[in-house]
Amino acid sequence: MSGVRVLAGTRKGAFIFTSTERRKRWKVSGPHFPGWEIYHLAASPADPDRLYASQSSGWFGQIIQRSDDGGKTWATAGNTFAYDGDPGTHQWYDGSPHPWEFKRVWHLEPSPDDPDTVYAGVEDAAIFKTTDGGHTWQELPALRGHGTGSQWTPGAGGMGLHTILLDPGAPASIVVAISAAGAFRTDDGGATWRPINRGLKSEYIPDPDAEVGHCVHRIARHPSRPQVLFMQKHWDVLRTDDGGDSWREVSGNLPTDFGFTIGVHAHEPDTVYVVPIKSDSEHYPLDGRLRVYRSRTGGHEWEALSNGLPQRNCYVNVLREAMAVDALESCGVYFGTTGGQVYVSDDSGEHWSAIARDLPAVLSIEVQTLP
Amino acid sequence: MIRVMLPAALSILARTGSEVTLDVPPPATQRTVIDAIEARWPALRGTMRDQASGKRRALVRFYACGEDLSHESPDAPLPEEVASGKEPYIVLGAIAGG
């Protein structure tokens, strides 16, 4: 019988939940790396037992952990993330130049076909790659160096590269997103990059249509349609059908189009999920009601999904990395909250239940569909 | 033989006890002691000093013989009591919230 493994990164450790395909009863493993911030855990699509974890703390810096047995045991991997050459400066919040300084790994994206190859998105924003299972990491420097890097500014949470989309059908194509610089794309394996922010409008920056400077919170897509991307920006939900060359807003009837996370159904490329958040200063659901919104039309038309979710006095947030889907026949949707809940729906969002209710604040959720 | 006391987070990470011992060629300094720790336990590389700058992490402090050595030169010889193993070199994580 197939099953699922949910990888949850939290503010104080990692947790792993496993279940059969029924997704009703869950085994809990953790906390792993107790007391440390786990920004992200990720599994290799090529080897489901190969996991990577980004472990960090304000005291002791960045650690990378690797498991070769599905999370039962872990060993530290390489944690040297050295920018290529003189990293120069980016813009600080006040517009002044500020030196590029490595702080932490926000996101790990294993290769679709090689367990030893992983991309890492880091703060201050850059993309690194390992081809030896995490022992050594090399920057793909052309992203920072393509010309706009000196104009990038941090978002409130730091200047992190948080989204890395790989295309199994076109290995040289990579899409990344950075808060608060925007989205970027390479079609030659990282040798050259270009901003892909045309159509984004951000009224809170000096030039709302600027080439860079947009606070992209998350991008998701369905693997069968790599040119169609869905974006949750600081404000606005957007869509592109041409790999990012042009974006258009699809917020439609959402009650608020501020939010952090966005996901796409495993089997329906036009079914998209967001969790609307009240505003950029009030990071919780509208009216104290936790609702996922689903569009089955690729945007514009959205419906609230609340069955099983708290509908009063709920003031949690759902962060950018904290939603994922499984690939079982009845698509499972998962998300975690800053209140420590992890919710699952085993029917594409119709009904929700809690896997866990009292974890530390959830920073990231990934799901593996196991054979 | 130099004795080093590690904060709990780092001893768990490196799978050591709270106190480790090291042979460090004389004259032992803060730099050579931490170099030796990182060489023996690679999991601790970069946890006490920033890997890019080589400087002590802001929320890590170093003590010995009742004295705060955090702002001393990393190349100054450690006190004889530490070099002889009578007193431990103490790595401390700052008391800070979260």
Question: Which position has the token pair 């190969």?
Answer: A50
Nearest to A59 among B42, B51, B93 (CB): B93
Q: How many angstroms separate the CA of residue B3 from the nearest CA in chain A?
A: 20
Nearest-Cα residue of chain A relative to residue B60: A59
Q: How many angstroms separate the CA of residue A137 from the nearest CA in chain B?
A: 13
Which chain A residues are within 8 Å of B93, Cβ to Cβ? 59-60
Which pLDDT value is given to residue B44?
98
Does the distance separating the beta carbons of B60 and A59 come in below 8 Å? Answer: yes
Nearest-Cα residue of chain B relative to residue A36: B9
Q: How many angstroms separate the CA of residue B65 from the nearest CA in chain A?
A: 23
Nearest to B47 among A35, A60, A80 (CB): A60
Inter-residue contact A119 to A164 (CB < 8 Å) = yes
Q: At A126, which amino acid appears?
A: A
- Which residues are CB-contacts of B96 (< 8 A; sequence separation ≥ 6)? A58, A59, B59
Q: Is A135 touching B (CB cutoff 8 A)?
A: no
The two three-digit tokens of residue B42, written as one number: 């690679």
Give B2-93's CATH code, choosing from 3.30.750.24, 3.30.60.50, 3.40.1710.10, 3.10.20.30: 3.10.20.30
Inter-residue contact A173 to A221 (CB < 8 Å) = no
Restricting to A residues 29-68, those with a Cβ less than 8 Å away from any Cβ of B are 35-36, 57-63
Does the distance separating the beta carbons of A79 and B51 come in below 8 Å? Answer: yes
Picking from B6, B10, B12, B13 by the largest number of A CB atoms within 10 A of its own CB, the best residue to mutate is B13
Restricting to B residues 23-82, those with a Cβ less than 8 Å away from any Cβ of A are 42-43, 45-48, 50-52, 57, 59-60
pLDDT tens-place values along chain A, 371 residues long: 589 999 999 999 999 999 999 999 999 999 999 999 999 999 999 999 999 999 999 999 999 999 999 999 999 999 999 999 999 999 999 999 999 999 999 999 999 999 999 999 999 999 999 999 999 999 999 999 999 999 999 988 899 999 999 999 999 999 999 999 999 999 999 999 999 999 999 988 888 889 999 999 999 999 999 999 999 999 999 999 999 999 999 999 999 999 999 999 999 999 999 999 999 999 999 999 999 999 999 999 999 999 999 999 999 999 999 999 999 999 999 999 999 999 999 999 999 999 999 999 999 999 999 98
- Domain-wise residue ranges, chain B: 2-93
Q: Could you tell me the CA-to-CA distances from B46 to A194, A363, B76 in Å, in that order?
A: 33, 23, 21
Instruction: Determine the topology of domain A35-314 in CATH.
Output: Methylamine Dehydrogenase; Chain H (2.130.10)
ipTM for the complex? 0.95
Which pLDDT value is given to residue B97?
63
Which chain B residues are within 8 Å of A61, Cβ to Cβ? 46-47, 50-51, 57
CB atoms within 10 A of CB A329: 9
Nearest-Cα residue of chain B relative to residue A63: B43
Q: What is the CA radius of gyration of chain B?
A: 12
**Which 3-state string (H, E, C) describes A41-52?**
EEEECCEEEEEE
Which chain B residues are within 8 Å of A73, Cβ to Cβ? none
Strands (DSSP E) contained in chain B are 2-5, 19-22, 60-64, 67-68, 89-93
Inter-residue contact A161 to A127 (CB < 8 Å) = yes
The Cα A87–Cα A83 span in angstroms is: 6
The two three-digit tokens of residue B66, written as one number: 């009742």
Task: Select from A73, A155, A77 the least CA-distant residue to A120.
Answer: A77
Does the distance separating the beta carbons of A60 and B48 come in below 8 Å? Answer: yes
Q: Quick one: how far is CA B5 from the chain centroid?
A: 7
Does the distance separating the beta carbons of B46 and A59 come in below 8 Å? Answer: no
Q: Is A192 touching B (CB cutoff 8 A)?
A: no
Which chain A residues are within 8 Å of B56, Cβ to Cβ? none
Q: Could you tell me the CA-to-CA distances from A212 to A154, A176, B60 in Å, in that order?
A: 12, 13, 37
B55 burial via Cβ count (<10 Å: 0-12, 13-18, 19+): exposed
Picking from A60, A62, A122 by the largest number of B CB atoms within 10 A of its own CB, the best residue to mutate is A60
Q: Is B9 touching A (CB cutoff 8 A)?
A: yes
Does the distance separating the beta carbons of A101 and B46 come in below 8 Å? Answer: no
- Domain-wise residue ranges, chain A: 35-314
Q: How many CA atoms lie within 13 A of A89 on its CB side?
A: 8
Sort strands A353-356 and A342-345 into parallel, antiparallel or unpaired: antiparallel
Sort strands B89-93 and B2-5 into parallel, antiparallel or unpaired: parallel
